[in-house]
Structure 1
């Protein structure tokens, strides 16, 4: 872990984090936003060069050059015709990679407790999409999942290529959790978890685990790169512990600094580059 992740002595630092922010705030559930691309398709389609330019790949003029050179396919067929129009349901690929007609956008949310990530609207539960509705007109999707009662960082994007890669990374993604247990964690059990615990779906390795500095022994900091479902909960349950509060404070290179609970922000260009390199 970096120096900012831990206090002296190799222990996780505790305390409150994040201050007031003037970033976009969650509001009441609005009507489902229409993306710029959706609006463009309302007539009789959109020119292929504009479709590619909207995706942020290149300018319209350069798109014409790539189209003429045979770099673009529509529904599996090479299209070289200038002025060719496509619909929202067409499968457009540039150099073999699917093209999103909306410019890629990236946001991170500090998810509150009790908010659903997917589904459960039929139960009257509020979802993260209610919070993110005002972020952009683009159709965003969360990358991965957080349990309803789990708080912390959640990434959103309309970049399907990045979302797919981060959803099942070859080497995992660095994540740091602050864990509050219902009872103190015995040192022997902490050491067992540090060595790696075998669950029903295989061994779970943690990069680090320790008591949070100057806090009760039921407050734990844990770093793992595992993206398995409910892995942190299952890890502690295997040793006889129940989690009272779970907060993901680091995801990849993203942190909760200056991001209050329930707020979101747009990723910087450098953060987008860093996420793409994970």
Structure 2
């Protein structure tokens, strides 16, 4: 695992004009606009049926046209196949019998700084990760999964409860890569123990890859892991008698820190959202 991968976005928040900028994470930084699709405008009283279905998180608008044409969408109990049909927000719209909610599903990726909590509870306090993405949406966005207050790196926020539940399911085991710094060098024998599978609380933890970071001291380790157990990376090193000084999540479910400085957020691209929807 290269050192450059673990340092994605770090240079962008450092030196500017020969001086270091003072960070102000507590106020929340502006989003990265390069991939920013924009906060959607409120839905009017009348909305095209395909947009209503797409906003409900079922599929894209183009795919919604196919579902409507096939008669899979009903409005107030009646199948609608007319392209361009408009519905009211108070109408009952169903897809394959499931009631739809027209609230726009939104997905925001944050590169979390150290010292900010990221919990599923409603929390917009000054030192919460939620406060950093508060301007990303008019809807309440909640983090997917957990990450420690002192850890840094990628956190996904969304108002898509169905996707969040699916991604949080232990059976999915999302791919995560961490850059870890220990208070002392990691012994080769302990590195091997992790590679072979280490028992944590009487249950063996399997990691996909663990190695020393290229061109770095032996107290810096990269780890790829799919386990969804709480604080499992921290607990692995606790079991071996090492103190974790820094832990940075540089990859999460295929999402990376590229062009995303610490303390900033961005909207996911349509392709990234589609990739997450493929996780069952």
Structure 1 residues 32-82: Cα deviation after superposition (integer angstroms, max 9, x where no partner): xxx966x879xxxx88958546436559x9699689x57459xxxx73399
**Which residue in 2 is equivalent to 1:242?**
243
C-alpha contact 1:70 1:79 (8 A) present in aligned 2: no
- CA 1:70/1:220 → structure 2, altered by over 3 Å: closer, same or farther? closer
3-state SS, counterpart of residue 238 of structure 1: helix
Match of 1:17 among 8, 17, 27: 8
* Deviation for aligned residue 1:27: 6.6
Structure 1 residues 137-158: Cα deviation after superposition (integer angstroms, max 9, x where no partner): 2332211111111110011122
* Deviation for aligned residue 1:177: 0.3
State yes or no: 1:153 paired with 2:154: yes
For normalisation by structure 1, the TM-score amounts to 0.73
C-alpha contact 2:56 2:104 (8 A) present in aligned 1: yes
For normalisation by structure 2, the TM-score amounts to 0.73
Q: Specify every segment of 5 or more residues in structure 2 that has no aligned partner in the other structure, as ranges.
A: 14-23, 29-39, 81-85
C-alpha contact 1:14 1:212 (8 A) present in aligned 2: no
**Once superposed, what is the RMSD of the aligned Cα atoms?**
3.7
* Deviation for aligned residue 1:183: 1.3
C-alpha contact 2:6 2:250 (8 A) present in aligned 1: no
- C-alpha distance in 1 between matches for 2:67 and 2:256: 40
Q: Specify every segment of 5 or more residues in structure 1 that has no aligned partner in the other structure, as ranges.
A: 1-5, 30-34
* Deviation for aligned residue 1:162: 1.7
- C-alpha distance in 2 between matches for 1:47 and 1:201: 55
Using the TM superposition, name which of 176-185 and 49-58 deviates more: 49-58
* Deviation for aligned residue 1:131: 0.7
- C-alpha distance in 2 between matches for 1:36 and 1:256: 27
3-state SS, counterpart of residue 216 of structure 1: coil
State yes or no: 1:262 paired with 2:263: yes
- CA 1:184/1:70 → structure 2, altered by over 3 Å: closer, same or farther? closer
- C-alpha distance in 2 between matches for 1:243 and 1:120: 28
C-alpha contact 1:13 1:212 (8 A) present in aligned 2: no
- C-alpha distance in 2 between matches for 1:150 and 1:262: 13
**Which residue in 1 is equivalent to 2:77?**
79
Matched residue count: 248
What does residue range 51-200 of structure 1 map to in structure 2 within 5 Å? 51-52=52-53, 54-55=55-56, 58=61, 71-72=73-74, 79-80=77-78, 93-97=94-98, 99-118=100-119, 119=121, 126-168=127-169, 170-200=171-201
3-state SS, counterpart of residue 183 of structure 1: coil
